[in-house]
Structure 1
């Protein structure tokens, strides 16, 4: 049973301005998590943002190491809070799309990124963490 779902969007073309979407039509801007408000971001939002930025920058580094310096990419991180017989748990997912790359090529980069991204390494032992790929043009990050 899904309790709530948070989606973080990171796009370097927005000058690091990020928005979070919790429910359809409800967005929040990135502000201090120390000032509670219904329209301000919280720890879950900041986790999603942290992973999205880390995954993005690690992917860019891996692409550069393979001489793909002109490839644009998009990263989307979602996080669902779910409940089972043991209680509540998080189910985060990172989704990577790379311009002009097949899904198979993107999956190779995503796997390498998940092994090298510091936040991925921190959370990768959790069976609820997943990494997926999508077509660049179909991955909405704005």
Structure 2
């Protein structure tokens, strides 16, 4: 297996610290997630950003192979942190919108992307991922 890229990010202070990538492109204050507070980003937001981006790339790749346009498509990841007794676990709702496709077509495309997305593969059978298809809202 070949290697295309390795990301390196260092955390200092955990949920109440900082994260910084080796190339300096990512340099953020991190805070404990609390609704309405602005103490910096949190691991759930970072995971949602990474997962939605990777999933969107997989969606575009699958769509291109089927000659389906993904212009103005969107993928929103909602990552929820659940308390489970003394531990925690995550769940994800992945909302996919592809203008020009109905909900059924969008869901089928999302399901195909879910099979090839590296983040989906990494989390499969570890966290619940719910795929949701949305229809695009057109401005008249």
What is the TM-score when the length of structure 1 is the normalising length?
0.66
Provide structure 1 residue ranges, at least 5 long, that are not aligned to the other structure: 1-29
Calculate the aligned-residue CA RMSD, in Å.
2.3
Query: Corresponding residue for 1:96?
Result: 96
Deviates more, 1:35-44 or 1:75-84: 35-44
Q: 1:62 to 1:107 in 2, by over 3 A?
A: same
Query: Corresponding residue for 2:77?
Result: 77
Structure showing greater radius of gyration is 2
Query: Corresponding residue for 2:135?
Result: 135
CA distance, structure 2, for counterparts of residue 43 and residue 85 of structure 1:
20
Query: Corresponding residue for 1:66?
Result: 66
How far is the alpha carbon of 1:127 from its aligned partner? 4.7
What is the TM-score when the length of structure 2 is the normalising length?
0.67
Q: Is the 8 A contact 2:48 2:78 kept in 1?
A: yes
Provide structure 2 residue ranges, at least 5 long, that are not aligned to the other structure: 1-24, 32-37
Where has structure 1 moved over 4 Å in runs of 4 or more?
Answer: none
1:32 aligns with 2:42: no
Q: Is the 8 A contact 1:81 1:88 kept in 2?
A: yes
